[in-house]
Chains A and B, each alone.
Chain A
């Protein structure tokens, strides 16, 4: 193939990706600015808190408890290869709080909340409800986007904290019930080993992942195509983008907190 054509295609692809990032960044800044400026819609914010926070608790809890239990089993089996079975409490704690808690909660929120926001807003767009909002003197960014992003920003760190605790509890249950660990020693090792930096990083990641999840849902919903196919594409695209961005943000934030 002609190298100039190849370079041209590569350039176009890079420009397309950069333009998409630019559009999302402008949308995110717009959403954040609307969160700070009145009018505010407390009812919509309350509904978003309920949907994103409270109703996500079961899936977050179940994901965390099974992950914590499996992690304890894996660390015990792996540690046994070099007589390090005793590190189970410390590694479960650090693994859940630093990485698995925030990432798994973030991905669960992407699956549950991002898809739901994208589908709902896309359907509103397709059925002219967003145009109706505008004609009723209501800014869609304020009424639809700002309450959801703010609710995700506030509730996902709380979900991560709950996920961390439940995940550690899952590891504790498996270790004490199946692997013969002493209950008091397990808890003491867990508490002693965790640092404030671990907990802060977990909560900051939660806030970042929640914001990403909500913004991607809103962005794809507001920019969906026409008809059922448009809604389907918006929903699929929002979850894919949110999941990838959450994993990328996790890498960056881990670097910021633990490599510097």
Chain B
């Protein structure tokens, strides 16, 4: 279980997280929604330790995220970044097998390459992309390579940062289905941040809406449409009028 308790983070005068509380049960898929600049990415990076919160506690399976063996902690996670964040200087298979080529999970090169190609197949890419450089791939293919990298070491927890941003609706659907299939297949805990309501409905078991630095509403995805929360209603229906200011 991932638990955020009264997490606060400010950048100068910009108070991004103002006491965020959230629980993500083990093996479930939580999608965090909210407007641009509401701190969704900050929350995710706080869990990973990429950003240090000003106060509050974050625990993963009862262990404080800021204490203990950092490598062992990070080995539990896979992450799909918004832009893919593939390493330009490495080939596709070396990107996918990055964790398997070094560190505590190191495998022989041939074995790591085979695992990388198998993971590429799992996300619908043929083996012939393995030796290409990321710059030679389309945006959708880069996202799939990023997804293959996120699952290469079979992590217990997978984070998805805006997985469908910049993709056409068909490719978005493909990525959403892949994420759902992989999360179910691996039994992983998933945390996704997105604005894309089709992603929310395809990926989520539970939904949390972040607004003004706190969780405005959280509950099962099936309850989302009948929540009665005016902020959530405005967001999921994409209305300009409502309690959330259109110009922020």
**Once the chains bind, are B81 and A39 in contact (CB under 8 Å)?**
no
**Shortest Cβ-Cβ A-B pairs, 5 listed:** A132-B85, A128-B85, A137-B74, A135-B79, A128-B81
Tell yes or no: B50 within 8 A of A by CB.
yes
Closest Cβ neighbor of A135 among chain B residues: B79
Give A131 to B47 CA distance when docked, in angstroms. Answer: 13
**Once the chains bind, are A138 and B103 in contact (CB under 8 Å)?**
yes
Tell yes or no: B14 within 8 A of A by CB.
no
Tell yes or no: A251 within 8 A of B by CB.
no
Kindly state the interface size class of chain B when it binds its partner: 20 to 34
Tell yes or no: A136 within 8 A of B by CB.
yes
Closest CB in chain A relative to B128 CB, distance in Å: 24
Give A103 to B103 CA distance when docked, in angstroms. Answer: 40
Closest Cβ neighbor of B45 among chain A residues: A131
A-B contact pairs, 12 of them (CB 8 A): A41-B102, A124-B87, A128-B82, A128-B83, A128-B85, A132-B79, A132-B81, A134-B48, A135-B48, A135-B77, A135-B78, A137-B71
Give A19 to B74 CA distance when docked, in angstroms. Answer: 32
Across the interface, B85 reaches (CB within 8 A) one of A47, A127, A137, namely A127
Interface centre among B48, B78, B79, B86 (most CB of A within 10 A): B79
Tell yes or no: A177 within 8 A of B by CB.
no
Residues of B contacting A137 with CB < 8 Å? 70-71, 74-75, 99, 103-104
Closest CB in chain B relative to A24 CB, distance in Å: 22
A-B contact count (CB 8 A): 49
Given contacts A129-B87, A131-B81, 4 further A-B pairs with CB under 8 A are: A129-B86, A132-B87, A136-B74, A136-B98
**Once the chains bind, are B50 and A39 in contact (CB under 8 Å)?**
no
Residues of A contacting B45 with CB < 8 Å? 131
How many chain A residues touch B (CB < 8 A): the figure is 14
**Once the chains bind, are B75 and A131 in contact (CB under 8 Å)?**
no
Residues of A contacting B75 with CB < 8 Å? 137
Closest Cβ neighbor of B150 among chain A residues: A135
Closest CB in chain B relative to A222 CB, distance in Å: 14
Residues of A contacting B79 with CB < 8 Å? 132, 135
Which positions 45-98 of chain B face chain A at CB distance < 8 Å? 45, 48-50, 70-71, 74-75, 77-79, 81-83, 85-89, 98
Give A54 to B83 CA distance when docked, in angstroms. Answer: 33
Which positions 36-80 of chain A face chain B at CB distance < 8 Å? 39, 41, 47
Give A138 to B79 CA distance when docked, in angstroms. Answer: 14
Given A129-B87, A131-B45, A131-B50: A136 and B81 interface contact (C-beta under 8 Å)? no
Give A87 to B182 CA distance when docked, in angstroms. Answer: 77
Closest CB in chain B relative to A211 CB, distance in Å: 23
Closest CB in chain A relative to B144 CB, distance in Å: 16
Across the interface, A39 reaches (CB within 8 A) one of B70, B89, B103, namely B103
Closest Cβ neighbor of B94 among chain A residues: A43
**Once the chains bind, are B87 and A138 in contact (CB under 8 Å)?**
no
Residues of B contacting A132 with CB < 8 Å? 79, 81, 85-87
Residues of B contacting A135 with CB < 8 Å? 48, 50, 74, 77-79
Closest Cβ neighbor of B99 among chain A residues: A136
Residues of B contacting A136 with CB < 8 Å? 74, 98-99, 149
Give A257 to B149 CA distance when docked, in angstroms. Answer: 53
Across the interface, A134 reaches (CB within 8 A) one of B74, B86, B149, namely B74
Q: What 0/1 pattern do residues 95 to 135 of B give for CB contact below 8 A with A?
A: 00011001110000000000000000000000000000000
Closest CB in chain B relative to A198 CB, distance in Å: 39
Residues of B contacting A47 with CB < 8 Å? 89
Closest Cβ neighbor of A133 among chain B residues: B87
Give A47 to B87 CA distance when docked, in angstroms. Answer: 15
Closest Cβ neighbor of B81 among chain A residues: A128
Closest CB in chain A relative to B93 CB, distance in Å: 15
